């Protein structure tokens, strides 16, 4: 009995694991994935590096290595980030957010060890490409996130939200209390950052983004729609002014926070995040902010069959 059921069980296990590899590896998979707590947290660290470098360099003109040279574990210097031309209020806010990201990175390293900083491309061209894709034509002059406070906040609109939805997506799958405590604490501050950025943008929702013929609200809607399209898992990202059917209780078109019909935060899995931050719509095709791909075990699963 045992001798005949063993190979059958093994076969079943093999078939199930092939099936799960096929599904989680499908180009539009939207569900949870199998991974250890460490790998999930280190996946998120990719986004924390991106935020840290964008906020620190955007506000002060110097990045993570100027504050804590250990945290990047000798990962390459980011490309193209600049000190943005910020008004005093925006400067104070972004500087604080940048410092917070250093703490987040330290928390992750202390808890699970951490990954090397991936190569990050924060050059104006990467943002300009995203914004052109979002609006569907070539903005002239090219969008420059470092030009002024409004542009920098629009650049920020692209970033902490990904961390937020990624954390909401990963928390239910975490196995240990200590991991859940860490990640829910990271989520709290991440969603606070996103809320502040969106509130500052909402104050100017009706204004045109100089020198373009498009308002702040329209641009956020278009960026959100682009991200929904890249991630391929339905509407999980909403701009600042929405049709009533996307507003809270279908009673308002203001949308300072992006959330579902229960006003609960949307969740994304790692593939959805990669499709978006790579700008390629494919977790197998790096690009955008991560020209060589993200680091860690989860991102590597999709980069494995690349030829060097």
User: Footprint of ligand NAG on this chain (CB under 6 A)?
Assistant: 245, 249-250, 261
Comparison of 8 and 262: residue with beta carbon closer to ligand NAG: 262
H-type helices in the chain, by residue range?
2-24, 37-60, 64-67, 88-112, 124-135, 149-157, 160-170, 177-202, 216-231, 270-277, 297-301
CB-nearer residue toward ligand NAG: 213 or 249: 249
Cβ 261 to ligand NAG, closest distance in Å? 4
Nearer to ligand NAG, 135 or 259 (CB): 259
Q: Considering the complex, what minimum distance in angstroms separates the CB of residue 253 from ligand NAG?
A: 12
Here the contacts of 151-156 (C-beta below 8 Å, separation 24 or greater) are 151/84, 151/209, 152/58, 152/84, 152/86, 152/90, 152/94, 153/90, 153/197, 153/200, 153/201, 154/201, 154/209, 154/216, 154/219, 154/220, 154/223, 155/54, 155/58, 155/127, 156/54, 156/55, 156/94, 156/197
Instruction: Supply the minimum distance, in Å, between the C-beta of residue 245 and ligand NAG.
Output: 4
Nearer to ligand NAG, 247 or 293 (CB): 247
In eight-state DSSP terms, residue 140 is S
Q: Which residue is nearest to ligand NAG (CB)?
A: 250
| Residue whose CB is less far from ligand NAG, 178 or 260 | 260
The conformation of residue 252, written as its DSSP 8-state character, comes to: -
Measured from the CB atom, the residue of 160 and 247 that comes closer to ligand NAG is 247
Q: How far is the CB of 191 from ligand NAG (least distance, A)?
A: 21
78 or 247: whose CB is closer to ligand NAG? 247
As measured in angstroms, the least distance from the Cβ of 260 to ligand NAG is 9
What minimum distance in Å lies between the beta carbon of 67 and ligand NAG?
Answer: 45
Peptide bond into 141 cis (omega under 30): yes
Q: How far is the CB of 265 from ligand NAG (least distance, A)?
A: 16
Burial track 59-96 (b if 16+ CB lie within 10 A, e otherwise): bbeebbbeeeeebbeebeebeebeebebeeebbebbbe
């Amino acid at each position: 009995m045992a001798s005949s059921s063993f190979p059958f069980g093994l076969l079943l296990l093999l078939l199930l694991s092939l099936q799960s590899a096929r599904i989680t590896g499908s180009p539009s998979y939207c569900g949870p994935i199998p991974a250890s707590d460490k790998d999930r947290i280190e996946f998120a660290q990719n986004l924390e590096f991106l935020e840290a470098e964008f906020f620190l360099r955007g506000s002060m003109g110097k990045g993570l290595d100027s504050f804590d040279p250990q945290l990047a574990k000798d990962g390459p210097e980011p490309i193209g980030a600049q000190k943005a031309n910020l008004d005093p209020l925006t400067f104070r806010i972004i500087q604080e957010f940048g410092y917070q990201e250093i703490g987040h990175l330290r928390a992750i390293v202390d808890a699970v060890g951490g990954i090397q900083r991936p190569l990050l491309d924060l050059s104006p061209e990467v943002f300009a490409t995203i914004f052109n894709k979002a609006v569907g034509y070539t903005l002239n002059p090219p969008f420059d996130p470092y030009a002024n406070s409004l542009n920098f906040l629009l650049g920020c609109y692209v970033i902490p939200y990904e961390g937020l939805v990624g954390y909401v997506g990963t928390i239910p799958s975490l196995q240990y209390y200590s991991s859940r405590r860490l990640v829910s604490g990271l989520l709290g501050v991440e969603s606070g950052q996103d809320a502040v950025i969106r509130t500052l943008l909402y104050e100017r929702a009706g204004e045109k983004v100089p020198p373009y013929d498009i308002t702040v609200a329209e641009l956020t809607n278009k960026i959100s729609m682009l991200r929904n399209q890249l991630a391929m898992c339905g509407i999980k990202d909403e701009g600042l002014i929405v049709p009533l059917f996307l507003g809270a209780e279908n009673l308002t078109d203001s949308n300072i926070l992006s959330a579902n019909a229960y006003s609960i935060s949307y969740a994304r899995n790692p593939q959805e995040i990669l499709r978006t931050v790579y700008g390629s719509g494919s977790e197998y095709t790096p690009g955008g902010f991560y020209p060589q791909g993200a680091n860690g075990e989860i991102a590597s699963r999709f980069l494995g069959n690349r030829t060097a």
